[in-house]
Each structure stands twice: as C-alpha cells, then as structure tokens.
Structure 1
Amino acid sequence: MPRLMNGAELAGEIVERAAKRAASFLEKTGRKPCLATVLVGDDPASVTYVRMKQRRCAGAGVESRHVQLPAATTTAEAVAQVRELSEDPAVDGILVQHPVPAHVDERAVFEAIAPGKDVDGVTMHSFAAMALGEPGFLSCTPGGILRLLDAHGVEIEGKHAVVIGRSPILGKPAALLLLARNATVTVCHSRTADLKAVVRTADIVVAAVGKPEFVRGEWLKPGAAVVDAGYNPGNVGDVDFKSAEPVAGWLTPVPGGVGPTTIAVLLEQTVEAAWEGNSTPR
C-alpha cells in the first residue's frame, strides 16, 4: 500500500502563509495583491477552473479580477487585453486560462504577459529562468509537484525521474525543475520507443500525458514515487490508481493531489509578485 501525497493538506499550508503575507501587503499599501484571469471563450472546464481560482483568491486575501473574452476574439485582441493588464499598476499577476480557442495564437498571448506578472510561469522569460536557475516564477503545476515531493520526503537528487509528456507548461518545465535538483531526467512522449520499459526504470514518475488511466501499475518500478498530473472526465488522472496502488511507494490521488498545490503556488507567486512590484518595505 503506497503512502499518499496529500496535496490538499500541503496547499492549505502554502495558502495560509500566502494569506499572512497578503494581509501584511494590504496593511502597508492599502490594497490587496491582485490576480487577473483572462478567459477566451466559454469552455465549461475552463470556466469551472477560473471560478475555483477566484474562490481560492478570496480565501487567501487576494483580489481577483476576471476578464472574459468572446470565443471569436482574435489573437491581436487577446494580446492587446493582456498588454493592458501588464501595464496596469493595480494588477500584480496575470493568468491566461489554457487552452485558448484553436484560432488564437496562445504563445503570442502568453508573451504579452510582463515577466514580473507571469505568476503562472508560462512565458519564455520564465522558462529560461527555470532552465538557467535564475530568479523567476515557476510553472505552477511543476512547482507544485516539487513541493509535494519535498513535503513527503521523496529524495530527488541522484534519482531517475521519468516525465511522460512534453507540453511547454507542464512536461518540459517539470523536467527542468527536476534536473535542477540533480535528478537524472528522461522525457517521454508519443514517439518514445518501448515506453513501458523506460517507465520501469524510474524512481520518480510524473504522468502528464492527458490520457485517462494511461500509466499502468505493471509499468512501475516497485517503490517508485508516482505523481499523477492529469485530470480527465470522471475524476480520473493519467495513472490507473487501482493497479498502481500495490506497486508504488508514493502516489498522488486524483483529485486531491497535484491540483490543490498548483493553485496554492499560483496564489503564493501572486503575493510575491505584489511585493516585488511594490517599493514599500516589507
């Protein structure tokens, strides 16, 4: 029976600390830290995620400003809106909800976010900072994954980590952050030969492939720490929990694992952005 990596408990601790810093910011500046969310279109899952983030903002003492754009919004219009938020001194962090409609150039919209307000860690500036070990905001889900591993005493240095998935906002930054912690990292994807054999060598598995219950227990090395970064219809992740449970040493539940830590890191980085963008002494 694996030990579960409880993201909800860890997230509560992160948000509690962020809320104290947000209250201090309010006391010193007269305003709350502000997170602006931008949603293009009305994808039901995205709408739900944004509402959830707004509720979590309220609980952390962070102001939430929501910008809803029509599904027909062009790339140029979305970029202009994000640039306006970037130039607004009352906005500390900007989150562009992923995914955007297919006709919108998501990368162009991301790059309109000022680096100091990229609290979701999606710009090229943030990616380069993660790669080079320079100061900057982390991609929230990968950042939350490392916090989960650390909080549960999972050793990273010297271990073989396999990341399944290479998206620019999850798989790739997760690999960079693990590499920075001295893990030996293999990134797998749809063209990887004999994926099962590669996963079998991993001490740490990060499943970020976007396919329900894709990773099976028989693929796993006994005792491996398994992080399920997927969320699919039916409240299931990218790992088949039932078959992984007897094999894994550590395992994240879905829901209740990676998701809560992602939002907690987002709020923490928003508060940090507020302090960094304000000249008031701490």
Structure 2
Amino acid sequence: MGDTGFLGSNLIHHFISFYPLWQCTGISRRSSGLLLNPNGSYQHVCLDANTPSSLEQWMQWADVVVDFAHSRKPLTNNDDKDSGLDYEYFQALETRLRLAEKSSVHLYLYSSSGGAVYGNKYDDGIAKLSAEESALKPISIYGLEKCIAEQIVAFTLRESSTNYVLMRISNPYGSLVPAHRRHGFIPRLLRSILADDTVEIWGDPDSIQKDFIFMEDVCACIAKILSYHGHEHVFNIGSATSISLTNVIRIAEEKCGRRAKLRLSEGKPGDVTKFCLDISRAAKELGWSPSTPLEDGMGKTLAALSMEQS
C-alpha cells in the first residue's frame, strides 16, 4: 500500500527487477507512474488505503502486506502541533490489520520512521546511535503518530497468526523519484542545483547531522525481512553513520559540478536534527548491511534526476 509514493515505487521497481516471479499489487489513491513492468508481475489498483472497506478483496489472496500508507508527510506537517492527531488514520490502520488477520496474511510490514520516533540523540553535539530498544522520544506530531501506529500494529497482531515487522527507516533517498514527490533533502538539493534554483535549509547545516540510506539498500533489507523466520519484530534500516548537511551539500556540488544556492532559515519545530540508527540487529538477524556509499548513491540519484529534467 502506498505504491505511488517514494518508498513504495522504489520497492515495486526493486521487486520487478530482482524478483520477477513475485506477483505484486500496489494500492494507492494516485495513478501509478511506473513504466517498467515487462513480465506483468505488477498491477496497480486505485484505492484509498485509509478507507479500507474496499481492500478486502485484495487482501484475500495476499501473502505479505507492505504498508507505506500515511496521511501526514514529515516535511510539510511535522511542525503543525495545532493540527492534532489523525485518529481516522489510526482507525483505518486497525481495520487494515483486522482485514489482514481475517485474510490469513502471513506477514504485515509497517513502515515507520527511524528519525521521527527516536527524536534527537547526541552527545557533545555529535549524533549517537539509536538501537531498537532505545527510548522513543518523538518531538513532532508525525513522530508521535508513527509511535502510536507501531503500538496499534503490535497490539492488534500480538497473538495473531499474521506476523508483523516494524521497519524504522532513516532518511531514504534514491534514483527513482516520482515527479509529484518533492520531499527528501537529497533529491530536493540535487533538483535545485540542476535547475539553478535556491534550496532552503531550516537550521544550521553544520550542526544538523542525519542518517541517510540509499533506497536500493532499503529494498534489499525489506526483501531479507520477507524470508525472515526469527522472533524480532522491529528493525532499524539505516546507514549507521551520520553526516552533516554541510558535507551533503559539498558532495552534491562536487557531483553536479556547480555551487548550490542556499537560503538559511530558522530551524523548524519538530525537525529531528541529530540522529543515527544502530543497525546491528539487522546485520545479525537478517544478514543485511547497506552496500551503497553516500557518494555513489548521490551519483545514481543525480543521473536519474538529470534524465528527468532532460
């Protein structure tokens, strides 16, 4: 669910490319822009995952559900404390989980957020690792909703035959960026440099330190989870390293061969500025670790964005 968003579209593309025998159905409100489907293993259905009464027929044959659906986006809404919690989303999530259980779905994967649920974690100004057992300290409505959603998944499926995994993904970026998606610092930065536009930075780029993960590595980890038979229900998916936005900008300028135009603005309330994910559990339980250095991933992302603008 959520196959037309950034995460979902990259995962579908990965499955089509590396697992052509898998039959995938994508569900979202938006029409799919994916063109690569040479063997017919992927179909898209225009449905609203947050009105799940129409999902039952599609759940009946599903062995695995990957849930990327969420009504709130971190870039635009994480500082809007007056908006309140989205209780309709929680109710829709619980209904989806009940449908999955009723349909004997084998595995339910829920996409959470590694940065938003842990909040800022640092020592002497340096980002510290957050492990799965670390305290959850969200500082935004978006992060709080993700924490609550995790609890809903765990509570609903704790004694069910449907297993579940909560995926706490850090800051993903990638080479497949749907044209209607503009969030994500790295693609936003690269697009701005290519177009000779100004990119806005909220806060001090020297002090903001984040964990970035290339989407191909995220997809490879998810594929590992699909064949996992252990007892863990929560996995961090990140790079286990943090990098300042200043250094990200420097790499982007080197890749693009031109300087970025920056507009520095006051930091946004609710924006996690220092975090890094401990991925040792994924390494031990799944045999997974990221294989794409930031420089290589940004180069691949730049090549894709250059084709998009040509």
Normalising by structure 2, what TM-score? 0.33
- Which one has a larger percent strand, Structure 1 or Structure 2? 2
- Higher RCO by CA contacts (8 Å cutoff, separation 6 or greater): 1
